[in-house]
Chain A
Amino acid sequence: MATIIWTTIGAILTLSVYSFLYKDNPFYKFAEHLVVGISAGYYLVIYYFNFIQPNVVAPVFLLRIGNEAIGLGSSMWWLALIPGILGLLLYTRFFPKFGWVGRWSLGIYVGGYAGLGLSPIMQARVLNQIGANALPLTSITNVFLIVGLLGTLTYFFFSMKHKGVLGVLARVGIVFLMVGFGASFGYTVMSRVSLLIGRVSFLLHDWLHLI
């Protein structure tokens, strides 16, 4: 019995979302506000229990989580204070006089991740691509691949006028881009339809028992 009730609720919510396809309506508005409210509460709780509690609160206040004593006995417990303070600094923006301090933590975060990303991107997206595209020009497909890459890269030249050879190459690049976009558009249809089949079979099978 309980299953029937919950499946029915699930079905009503599903139909509420689909009603959006007809036009905006109270059912969709309800579903939209419901999902926003649940996710706000969900992420607040999850972020606290998954990041803040084990990494800041437990070591600093020597909390026990279950049978495990996190931070107790660790001589480096004070390290946990740093992210805790950085996190708190974000809230200085509510005090206009000290708002600038909050930029410290943002600066550390953004700067750190910018630095972190640079070398792997150079490696994976430039260096390895150079290696992967240095193909022997023995087959038509390889020539095709290299011409396409050359054209696409030329399209992305910003500081040179697209005239003459560059103009021809950039145009080749646009054609490749369009073929690529069309192809990946077509390729994605299947996975999106699968999602719909999944929801429809929930309605027809789990809820209405028609199939």
Chain B
Amino acid sequence: MRRVFHILLVLLALIAPAAGSLEALEATPIIEETEPVLLDVVPPGPPCSLTVRDYLENSDFGDKIEIEWGLSPDDGSGACDVTGYILSRALAEGEVGEVLDEISSGVTRYIDESVEPGVEYYYNLVSHDGTSPSGRVWAGPTAGRANLFQWSRFSVLVLMVVFFAMVARFTAVAGKGAKLFVRRIPGLNAIEEAVGRATEMGRPVLYVPGIGEIDNIMTIASLNILSHVAKITARYDTPLIVPTARAVVMSAAEEVVKQAYTEVGNPDAYNPDNIRYLSDAQFAFAGAVNGIMLREKPAANLYMGAFWAESLLLAETGFEAGAIQVAGTAMVSQLPFFVTACDFTLMGEELYAASAYLSREPKLLGGLKGSDWMKVVSIALIAAGIIARAVGLESFVAWFQTQ
């Protein structure tokens, strides 16, 4: 733990100068509309200076170069006839090159966001009054260099380190045998009851692991719960039907279920034909699962994982077929439908908690405790943010609004 804080301190020391220079960014000049200028033949004075440098203030891919200049003496004062500046960029010294942009009068800074990283560029700038340009000022060469750390995302890193440290700590504590309290999750017992009822009725259990791909963490949580459910059905010799919408999820589900049947010592009861790939197409899948519900009459329908609009199609058909239904998802938009149409619903984080809880492995329970403490940290930070806003420390809140 102490080492983590040392690292944090070092990182904080590194951010301080970067944070200071961030303020300069905010000072963008205000462009005022200028009165129409009469045509004349006298060119305005040229810009009084031109400097170019790699854009450093925000970490970038090396695709940005910052250009600054001094206003022409006739911009805003003198003859007061400058209507704008023309900035050009070239690959060789002395060439005018391509026009990058036309910039309004009164502006002294431009960021070229279209450079190739590592390529050296020359810039030149003229002022003009609508009819004639001034003399040209030159600068360069300079090249954009890629940064190794995205400082604008520093706050993300800090919170990640804090979160991971807490998870690691509680996992270690739990691993040493400390008893961790975990509150009852209502939907969990319902899963076992539902499977039990299906067994009594001699009807199958239907387990839908959502239509998410296997890279979706909800699907992974679902496969965890599937392993638990498969162990119960293996023990009671209840058929377990697992329809899937993704081929990889199907093959993972096959492994999970086969493994569970083997562990319980009933490998012969495993029926590979019950782990089915139906369709990658959302409603083709939903339609086919509805068919299974009506024709194979499962007595328990478990929906765990990532669901989209098909949630209610499944849950309403399942209700009509008379099955006990337990759902679990972190898809916020679908929760209302599962909550209304199913007997029990694992909401949001409960899905992940359930998967950790079922395993009863202390290592996994440590993660739950870590998440809880992260909630406390988040609430504390919101409170701190409210106070900071009240006393005018807007930069504290801005620190969280990264991009």
Contacts and interface: CB of A to CB of B under 8 A. Distances in A.
* A contacts B directly (C-beta below 8 A): yes
Interface of A: 17, 20, 24, 28-29, 31-32, 35-36, 38-40, 42-43, 90, 93, 106, 109-110, 112-114, 117-119, 122-123, 126-137, 146, 149-150, 153, 156-162, 177, 180-182, 184-185, 188
Nearest to A29: B291
A118 B164 CA distance: 11
Contacts of A134: 381-382, 384-386, 388-389, 397, 400
Interface of B: 153, 155-156, 159-160, 163, 180-183, 185, 214-215, 217, 220, 248, 251-252, 255, 278-281, 283-284, 287-288, 290-291, 294-295, 333, 335-337, 339-340, 347-350, 353, 368-369, 371-372, 374-375, 378-379, 381-382, 384-386, 388-390, 397-402
A133 B382 contact: yes
Contacts of A161: 181, 183
A150 B375 CA distance: 9
Contacts, number: 154
Nearest to B371: A158
Contacts of B284: 32, 35-36, 38-39
Contacts of B385: 130-131, 133-134
A157 B215 CA distance: 26
Contact of A177 (B248, B280, B347, B382): B347
Contacts of A137: 386, 390
A127 B279 contact: no
B180 A128 contact: no
A35 B287 contact: yes
Contact of A123 (B153, B248, B279): B153
Nearest to B384: A134
B344 to A, nearest CB: 14
B257 to A, nearest CB: 14
A24 B180 contact: no
A146 B382 CA distance: 9
Nearest to A121: B217
23 contacts: A29-B291, A38-B284, A39-B279, A43-B280, A109-B214, A112-B215, A119-B160, A122-B159, A122-B160, A126-B374, A127-B156, A128-B402, A129-B378, A130-B378, A130-B385, A130-B400, A134-B397, A135-B389, A156-B349, A181-B335, A181-B336, A185-B336, A188-B333
